[in-house]
A and B are shown apart, each in its own frame.
Chain A
Amino acid sequence: DSGVTQTPKHLITATGQRVTLRCSPRSGDLSVYWYQQSLDQGLQFLIQYYNGEERAKGNILERFSAQQFPDLHSELNLSSLELGDSALYFCASSSRDGDRETQYFGPGTRLLVL
């Protein structure tokens, strides 16, 4: 158990809909990262938040957005869903190790868009 929690574990929805994925980082970790794992794209970085502020953006679509709240939990919002958005979405939180970070991953949310 990494200490990172994600809800829900599974989500089935229809095209055009909007969903919210939730992540709670490990106690004391200020950074939260979101990743998407799909069969065709592999594991891709979406976005990072640090202590409530957006820190970095990766291959995140404009239809997707995220935020980190004062209690440090984060939510990833996916809107106008398409079939291709079906994937496993991971959240990770990180602890600092010298000048770099080590990321610990949650169990993921499996999204199926029908």
Chain B
Amino acid sequence: AQSVTQLGSHVSVSEGALVLLRCNYSSSVPPYLFWYVQYPNQGLQLLLKYTSAATLVKGINGFEAEFKKSETSFHLTKPSAHMSDAAEYFCAVSGSGANNLFFGTGTRLTVIP
């Protein structure tokens, strides 16, 4: 079975500070991991994905995530937060067979000017 846990439903950072959003996964098969972002009143936008080609994955808008098998983690980071990063971020893992996504509960990022 696949699942993800996102630690921290709300994270606040100052503009220009490091962003760290945590995601731990559980998977009975080699995981296929994703980060999606949801801006207010919008749909889900793919930020980045882990496909086993490289453990450090770079995504859009300056975000990146590192796959650590030993820690079963796939944390999302950005060196310097921008006001436009304020949104809800979802970590997801794909299931086996049907490839449907299992989502975490989301982390709402607030950026303080």
- A positions within 8 Å CB-CB of B: 2, 31, 33, 35, 42-45, 48, 55-56, 58, 90, 92, 94, 97-98, 100-108
Contact = CB atoms under 8 A, between A and B. Distances in A.
B6 to A, nearest CB: 10
Nearest to B44: A105
Instruction: Give the dominant DSSP class at A's interface.
Output: strand
Interface residues of B, number: 21
Given A48-B100, A56-B98, A56-B100, A102 B105 contact: no
B43 A105 contact: yes
A60 B36 CA distance: 23
Given A107-B42, A107-B43, A48 B98 contact: yes
B79 to A, nearest CB: 25
Contact of B51 (A31, A48, A98): A98
Nearest to B31: A100
A80 B61 CA distance: 42
Contacts of A31: 99
- Residue from the set A2, A33, A105 with the largest chain B CB neighbour count within 10 Å: A105
B106 A42 contact: yes
Nearest to A98: B51
B100 A100 contact: no
